[in-house]
Structure 1
Amino acid sequence: MKKTCLALLTAALLSACDKDAPQSSAAPAAEPGVISPAPELMSQLKLAGVKREPIAETLRVAGRIDFDEHRLARIGATITGRVTDIDAWLGQEVRKGTVLARLNSSELSTQQLAYLKARAELELNKRNAERAKALFQADVISAAENQRRESEYQISQAETRAAADQLRLLGVSPAAIEKLGKQGAIDSVTTVMATMNGVVVERRLSQGQVVQPADTLFVVADLSRLWAVAQVPEQQVGLVKTGQSVSIEVPALGNERLVGKLIFVGQTIDPETRTVLVRTELDNRDGRLKPAMLASMLIEAKPQERLVIPASAVVRENGEDHVFVATGPQQFRLQKLKLAPEQGGRRAVLSGLNGDEQIVIDGAFHLNNERNRKEMEGA
């Protein structure tokens, strides 16, 4: 009986030792993202320290092609009238002085009549003043009478000049005013003329419409030079200034890059969009650019000292940028970081590195494949 109990006790102890043995000999779990590559892979890796270099950040902002406001004319009537003829249409090229439309104006007729009356009164008072001067010299009339006739003549001169000035304000040329004074023929038709060479890009009138001097009837633009405008976010305003080099990408032209310089940076912030307007000028003598085309403006900011890594060191994992940082002899950790867009094979570090690390700059792709393989085997 004693031998049987001793055998059972011995068997129980051996069983307990067998259960504990695997637990005490198990290897510790590897830290996620850390890998110790095999010697053959290690020989393919190239390491380097993180550098600080001057790098110019390129801002990409949405914009559009727009008219050059210095080469744009909004043309209206100089007088109230009714449209009788329209001589220019959208897209038509016009020269300065080209008749765009004709109006019939009763106000013009009234002013022409006022001028003729003032001119007739001037002629009458001129003759009266000359006759009074002769009578005064003959001692027929008094000095007071002579002075009265001279004053009436001077007043008529002023009234005639005022009536002529009023006609000029209504768009009547000096030659037409002189012709009116000689012939006395009143013409109630006035013209709307182009004030510059260009293309009619807007027409805002129709036959029979009554228009006012404040109305814009035509917009004529010189399209040989255009603007590219964009809105820079408030946080990046400090990176842009007048004279900086910019590139314009126009999707309608196959994203062909057009080069220019900033000619204007706004002085105020748009309170609704929190952006600042910037503008550059583009040559358009070939006519390829059209106002209102969408465009992207790439603004090269002033170079600043930044942490920079080679683009070859970057590993994309789960939609984010990473690099392998050396943590010991033949040991690397996958480090997440934020990077600026690539420029000339380099990427500026926005966050994730402090500058004293050694990173894998060549072979990172193969190292990451090995890491993923080992993690899958471990799982």
Structure 2
Amino acid sequence: MKTHLRIAIALLIGGVIGAAISTLLFSSRGMNEHKQVDNQTAKGTKGSSQQREPLYWVAPMDPNFRRDKPGKSPMGMDLIPFYGNQRGADESMSAQAGSVKISPDVVNNLGVRTAQAKMTTLNNTIETVGYIKYNEDTIVHMHPRVEGWVDALYVSTAGETVSKGQKMYGIYSPQLVSAQEEYLLAKKGKSRVIIDAARQRLLALHMPQEAMQQLDSDGKVLQSVTFYAPQSGVLEHLKIRHGFYVKPGDTLLSIASLDEVWVEAEVFEQQASLLEEGLAVNMDVAYLPDRQWQGKLDYIYPSLDISTRALRVRLRFDNPERLLKPNMYSNITIQGKPSAATLTVPREAVIRTGNQDRVVLALGEGYFKSVAVTLGKMSREAIEITSGIEMGDEVVTSAQFLIDSQSSISSDFVRMDHDNGSASTRQNNNSMQAHMKMSMDMESKSQSKKQNVKTAPEQAQVRGTVNSINIEQRSANISRGPIEKWGRGPATMVFSFAEHIDEHVLHQLNANSRIEFTFEISDGDFVIVALSIIDEGAS
């Protein structure tokens, strides 16, 4: 009896313990399932907060072309989605206005190169063209001091070489004949005062010394008086022929020396501060390309040319072999005054537009930023920066046009980092990466077929007005009209001239010139390949 009672009590206790354990297990499982549901709900809420719709779609090269859905730009590029400012608070570098992050593989594929802004002395060499002319200080003009007729002419053409003391022409003049007769009569009277007066009259009438000696020795009147070359050189002008009637004030001929020549050249107004008299000058001419002449800057004219807005200078060169001929064109290199060290960047780093000049800064860790700068003086290799960046800043010298184009979309660049976990940023980057890959693929295909097929860049023809022109740099600031086939409105921008456009054509252009021109986009530059000047009366 007692044994059965003990078994019943044991079973009762075991049931109670089992029920308690079951209750604890079910309660723990329920709490875990609730936590999992909460976590999934939180993740879903977080994911939904990151998935945002683009504000609009924009053309990569034209920030004014916006659409509310994907499509193509007027230049055939895929539109890029813009999501606004969705950067995290921890992204201090990308939080800068206008910054953009490019992944290392894209930087490598684009061939991005940088250079440091540093303090250097600009090369102040000025290159221009000059026109050789006679040294006007050595030109001698021959004029008669009596009326008469040319009864002898010993030279025949302008440009003829003459020597000092060579016979040039003979004149029969009643006035000279009368003066000779008076002189001979005075000599017979033996009055020294009258003789000296008669002799001075002959000298005042420009009687040559050779004729005076012959008159004294022969004692006979010379009906024809011969005149001689006062210096050696070449005939610049010959304005008489045999039998011409001449009178005082007529220029009969001019003799110029070629032992030294002048060269007149023009420099841009902004280069005037680099000039001073006495600077060293080098010159070469087309027909003797292996020969160099050294001279000096002799004179700076006090005013600018009213049509070209250029400053004229006069150069002086020795010409002992007489190889330099008047009216030849020449290439001039003037060594300008040295200047103090200034902050400079490579010339190719500057992006020049009609309204603003910019450079793209490399901020480090794949970040880039486009900033506006103010330009100063420039040389062939570098440009002075007066404001906008500081010494030591890294500037992009290649592929900067593609990077800079994104800054026009808004005040900030579109994010280009395809490793970001944000869905919106990833969509932005994928579109940009596709655009860059397409551009590089097209360039690669173009290079592989370069020997067989040459793809002509797209061109546009338009009219415009020249605002300013820099012949040395072969560029001009032009306000062009609209381009209907590209859907572009009027704009003011900097164009460069193709190498085949002759420099003499550029010299015909000045501020306010109306032109019709054809241009193409080559390596990011707007290159004029053909142009014509519109007459004032043309509509």
Instruction: Give me the TM-score of the superposition, normalised by structure 1.
Output: 0.69
Are 1:348 and 2:383 counterparts?
yes
Structure 2 alignment gaps of length 5 or more: 1-44, 55-81, 86-95, 406-430, 437-539
The structure 2 residue matched to 1:57, chosen from 107, 124, 127, is 124
Q: 1:306 and 1:21, CA in 2 relative to 1: closer, same or farther beyond 3 A?
A: closer
Residue from 167, 173, 179 that aligns with 2:202: 167
Q: 1:33 to 1:375 in 2, by over 3 A?
A: farther
CA distance in 2, matches of 1:191, 1:276: 46
2:83 aligns with 28
The whole-number CA distance in structure 1 between the counterparts of 2:315 and 2:262 is 6
Instruction: Identify the structure with the greater helix proportion.
Output: 1
Q: Which amino acid letter does the alignment assign opposite residue 220 of structure 1?
A: I
Aligned-residue offset at 1:78: 4.2
Give the Cα separation in 1 of the matches to 2:401 and 2:325: 48
Does the 8 Å contact 2:283/2:331 carry over to 1?
Answer: yes
The percent of aligned pairs where both chains have the same amino acid is: 24
TM alignment of 1:127-206, pairs within 5 A: 156-173=191-208, 176-177=211-212, 179-181=214-216, 183-206=218-241
Q: Please name the residue that 2:68 is paired with.
A: none
Instruction: String of CA shifts for 1:2-60, please: whole Å, max 9, x gaps.
Output: xxxxxxxxxxxxxxx9xx98984546258998542221244665545411222242334
Conserved? CA contact 2:115–2:346, under 8 Å: no
Q: Deviations over 1:284-313 (max 9, x none)?
A: 344432212234543332222222113464
Aligned with 2:227: secondary structure?
A: strand
Deviations 1:194-219 (A, max 9, x none): 11111122111122222234322122
- Residues 340, 277 of structure 1: alpha-carbon distance in 2 compared, 3 angstrom cutoff: closer
Answer yes or no: is the 8 Å Cα contact 2:115–2:345 preserved in 1: no
Equivalence for 1:82: 149
> What's the counterpart of residue 185 of structure 2?
117
CA RMSD of aligned residues (A): 4.0
Partners of 1:63 and 1:230 within 8 A in 2: yes
State the 1:161 CA deviation: 0.7
Distance (Å, rounded) in 2 between the aligned partners of 1:221 and 1:181? 33
- Alpha-carbon separation, structure 2, partners of 1:198 and 1:212: 25
- Residues in 2 aligned to 1:170 and 1:157: alpha-carbon distance in whole angstroms: 20
Higher relative CO (Cα under 8 Å, sequence separation at least 6) belongs to 1
Cα offset, 1:66, TM superposition? 1.4
- 1:326 and 1:357 in contact (8 A); partners too: no
Question: Which residue of structure 1 lines up, in the alignment, with residue 368 of structure 2?
Answer: 332
CA distance in 1, matches of 2:289, 2:217: 63
Moved more, 346-355 or 90-99: 346-355
Contact 2:154 2:168 in 1 (8 A): yes
Structure 1 residue 224 displacement after superposition: 2.9
Distance change >3 Å, CA 249–CA 41, structure 1 → 2: farther
Give the alignment of 1:236-251 within 5 angstroms: 236-248=271-283, 250=285
**Partner Cα separation in structure 2 for residue 319 and residue 253 of structure 1:** 43
CA contact (8 A) 2:143 2:251 kept: yes
Moved more, 110-119 or 244-253: 244-253
Query: Cα distance, 1:63 vs. partner?
Result: 3.5
Residue matched to 2:102: 37
Corresponding residue of 1:145: none
Distance 1:335 1:210, change over 3 A: farther
Give unmatched runs, 5+ long, in structure 1: 1-16, 123-155
1:97 is aligned to 2:165:
yes
Across the two proteins, how many residue pairs are aligned to each other? 322
Q: Which residue does 1:365 correspond to in 2?
A: 398
- Residue 277 of structure 2 aligns to a residue whose secondary structure is coil
